[in-house]
Amino acid sequence: MKKTESTVCPYCEGNGYVQLLLGGSETCYCCSGKGTDSKNRK
Ligand SMILES: [Zn+2]
């Protein structure tokens, strides 16, 4: 297991992209491909 302080994007699960049902992948618009949640919640 790897622990990261930054929150992993729940939408793409940290991949930075999402799998399309029709095939291929697209940059996650939730995190803009960063793979991490840009929101810093404390
Ligand atoms: Zn994402």
CA distances from 35 to 22, 32 (A): 22, 8
Distance 38 CA to ligand 1 centre (A): 9
Distance 12 CA to ligand 1 centre (A): 4
Each domain of the chain, given as residue ranges in start order, spans 1-31
Query: pTM (2 decimals)?
Result: 0.63
Work out the end-to-end distance of the chain between its first and last CA atoms, rounded to an integer number of angstroms: 23
What is the token pair recorded at 1?
Answer: 């297991």
Percent of the chain with pLDDT over 70: 76
Mind listing the pLDDT tens digit for each residue in 13-29? 999 999 999 999 999 99
Distance 2 CA to ligand 1 centre (A): 18
Instruction: Note the pLDDT of residue 37.
Output: 86
Q: Which amino acid is at 39?
A: K
Distance 18 CA to ligand 1 centre (A): 7
What is the token pair recorded at 41?
Answer: 């919640």
